[in-house]
Amino acid sequence: MEVHEKVFGYEPDEKTTMLLVDFADYGNAAATAVPGNIVMLQVAPIIPNFETFAPAERMYTLMNHEMVHVVTTDQPAPAENRYRKLFGGKVLPVSENPESVFYH
């Protein structure tokens, strides 16, 4: 995270949740900053036939790559900063109206 703070000038408002999942038989990853900072990493081994990554290198690369997505999508523009102050942070979905996350 220190590298991302230096390179992008990123100051996180919240911690990033790292979710290690094994729902499929392929190694992949995804990241989002809405409604919270989340990185989901598929820990299933990938097919080694055409793979050039060592397992540790794959994890390191995917984690860094997905954190760049979080950093670049979580950094607010000046106008968004005003709304985050007004609403006390990011607008979160509410249980009565879960699609409200799309209007963030």
> Can you give the residue range of the structural domain that contains 85?
2-103
Overall pTM > 0.85: no
Closest CA to 69 of 23, 16, 31: 31
- Predicted local confidence at residue 31, as pLDDT: 92
- Predicted local confidence at residue 68, as pLDDT: 93
Strands 17-21 and 38-42: parallel
Domain count, the chain: 1
Residues of the chain with pLDDT under 50: 104
